[in-house]
Chain A
């Protein structure tokens, strides 16, 4: 099973999803991220989905769940780099990703988190 690496930069955890997400790796990512948040006390999580071309309701739910988990550790989640096609799919599925913030790219996501700090 492929694992998604979690990179700590300052007080932010950076997750870049570069693989086709399978249910198992998604659950693993949630576990890893919760561990990492508890260990580092990071104040923000950036999830980069530039490479994600296909989404379904499960992945949509995962993103919302990661947002909820992070909030329990007082960290804010920003999803960055969503492709237009992905955004249209999520909208058509009726998922508006409540509880997570979105930014156009990682740069703007970082700005958003720093503005909050």
Chain B
């Protein structure tokens, strides 16, 4: 963005009326954030931005624009993290335009200057918006990652018996992760029986069943027996009406039944002490 000389006058004007404009800007921003940030904090941020804007407008300082953009980026990132909407974030910048416009409303001779200033603010507003979107995407990606890690634990039920409680829908990415973790645990613990608990899987369609079968097959290649358990009545009905065949894979109603089955396969028996 080029800074033309007419903006120099604007910068002088803005510097002269700093108190008034900043006051009005703080007022507008504070109204916009509805009490989630204190007026003192808003004033501190706004004053920093305002002096940067003046430096940009005066055109003397080449680094000012970069600094201003960096300051705005930091501000919109923190807004994104604190759950402000994109509109609220961008309005914080556009409010400056309103504040200055109110000041200049009766001075008709500064129209060209005001247009240049307006363009600068629009550009900064867009920049804020973009940074906000990037920050939000990072947050979402991080959360997806956390959820993925949270939802794929492998637990040891007994010597040689491990269980995978599956929670949530099984898509191919999840299946891959579950499979890798299950197989790694099989190798690490030397377990020869795995129980897949699908109590937390809301629906089982052909795709989910396919993924389950894949996981069982992979575990079998490592020499481990697999049992699927936690099939709820509705899920059982869906499986049957879709014609899904689990073949020779043992299926049990509950995790307890599956554990008893696995213990039986290992030649152990649970009885009264």
Residues of A bordering B, CB below 8 Å:
78-80, 82-84, 86-88, 90-92, 96-97, 101-105, 108-109
Would A87 and B192 count as touching, CB distance under 8 A?
Answer: no
Looking at B23-31, B135-143, B220-228, the stretch in contact with chain A turns out to be B220-228
Mark contacts of B167-206 with chain A using CB atoms, 8 A cut-off: 1 yes-contact digit, 0 otherwise: 0000000001001100110110010100000000000000
For A101, the chain B residues whose CB sits under 8 A away are 223
For B186, the chain A residues whose CB sits under 8 A away are 84, 104
Would A96 and B221 count as touching, CB distance under 8 A?
Answer: yes
For B220, the chain A residues whose CB sits under 8 A away are 96, 102
Would B190 and A82 count as touching, CB distance under 8 A?
Answer: no
Would A88 and B179 count as touching, CB distance under 8 A?
Answer: yes
Complex Cα distance, B223 from A17, in Å, reads 18
Q: Does B238 contact A (CB under 8 A)?
A: no
Q: Does B18 contact A (CB under 8 A)?
A: no
Contacts A88-B179, A91-B217 supplied; 11 other A-B pairs, CB < 8 Å: A82-B223, A84-B187, A87-B222, A88-B180, A90-B218, A91-B221, A96-B220, A97-B221, A102-B221, A104-B190, A105-B190
Q: Which residue of A lies closest to B224 (CB)?
A: A104
**Size band of the interface chain B makes with A:** 10 to 19
Would A104 and B214 count as touching, CB distance under 8 A?
Answer: no
Would A104 and B218 count as touching, CB distance under 8 A?
Answer: no
Q: Which residue of B lies closest to A96 (CB)?
A: B217
Would B224 and A84 count as touching, CB distance under 8 A?
Answer: no
Q: Which residue of B lies closest to A109 (CB)?
A: B223
With most chain B CB atoms within 10 A of its CB, the pick from A84, A102, A103 is A84
Would B221 and A90 count as touching, CB distance under 8 A?
Answer: yes
Given contacts A104-B186, A104-B190, A108-B192, contact A84 B222 (CB under 8 A): yes
Complex Cα distance, B214 from A87, in Å, reads 10
Would B192 and A84 count as touching, CB distance under 8 A?
Answer: no
Sample (8) of A-B pairs whose CB atoms are under 8 Å apart: A82-B221, A88-B176, A90-B218, A91-B214, A91-B217, A91-B221, A102-B223, A108-B190
Complex Cα distance, B223 from A97, in Å, reads 11
Complex Cα distance, B218 from A80, in Å, reads 13
Selected contact of B180 from candidates A78, A84, A92, A103, CB within 8 Å: A84
Q: Which residue of B lies closest to A86 (CB)?
A: B221
For B183, the chain A residues whose CB sits under 8 A away are 84, 87-88
For B179, the chain A residues whose CB sits under 8 A away are 88, 91
Would A104 and B180 count as touching, CB distance under 8 A?
Answer: no
For A97, the chain B residues whose CB sits under 8 A away are 221
Q: Which residue of B lies closest to A92 (CB)?
A: B214
Would B222 and A102 count as touching, CB distance under 8 A?
Answer: yes
Would B221 and A104 count as touching, CB distance under 8 A?
Answer: no
